[in-house]
Amino acid sequence: MHLKSIDIGGLQTPNNVFLAPLAGYTNAVFREMCFSLGAGLTFTEMVSAKGLCYGSKNTQDLLYVTPSYGGIKAVQLFGSDPEYLSRAACSGLIAPFDLIDINMGCPVPKIFNNGEGSALLDDFARASQIIKACKSSGKRVSVKFRTGITAQKLVTADFAKMCEDSGADMITVHGRTRDKIYAGEVNYGEIAAAKRAVSIPVIANGGVFCRQDADILMERTGADGVMVARGAMYSPWIFCELTGSPQPDRCALVKRQLEETNKLYGERFALVFMRKMAAFYTKGKRCSSALRERLFTCDTIEKLEGMINETEF
Active site residue 106: yes
**Distance in angstroms (rounded) separating the CA atoms of residues 55 and 226:** 34
DSSP 8-state secondary structure symbol assigned to residue 54: T
Closest CA relative to residue 119, chosen from 178, 191, 182, 49: 178
Considering only the C-alpha atoms of the chain, give the largest distance between any 2 of them, rounded to a whole number of Å.
55
Q: Which of 106, 134, 163, 298 is catalytic?
A: 106
pLDDT digits (tens, 9 = 90+) for 44-103: 999 999 999 999 999 999 999 999 999 999 999 999 999 999 999 999 999 999 999 999
**Distance in angstroms (rounded) separating the CA atoms of residues 279 and 297:** 12
Topology of domain 250-309, per CATH? 1.10.1200
Tell me, what's the pLDDT at 106?
96
What percent of the chain has a predicted confidence (pLDDT) above 90? 91
**Distance in angstroms (rounded) separating the CA atoms of residues 113 and 130:** 18
Helices (H), the chain: 28-36, 49-53, 57-61, 82-89, 109-112, 124-135, 156-165, 188-197, 211-221, 230-234, 238-243, 250-265, 267-281, 288-295, 301-309
Q: What CATH number has the domain spanning 7-243?
A: 3.20.20.70
Which residues on adjacent β-strands are paired with residue 141? 100
**Distance in angstroms (rounded) separating the CA atoms of residues 159 and 66:** 34
Write down the domain spans for the chain: 7-243, 250-309
pTM: 0.96
Give 287's pLDDT tier (boundaries 50, 70, 90).
Answer: low
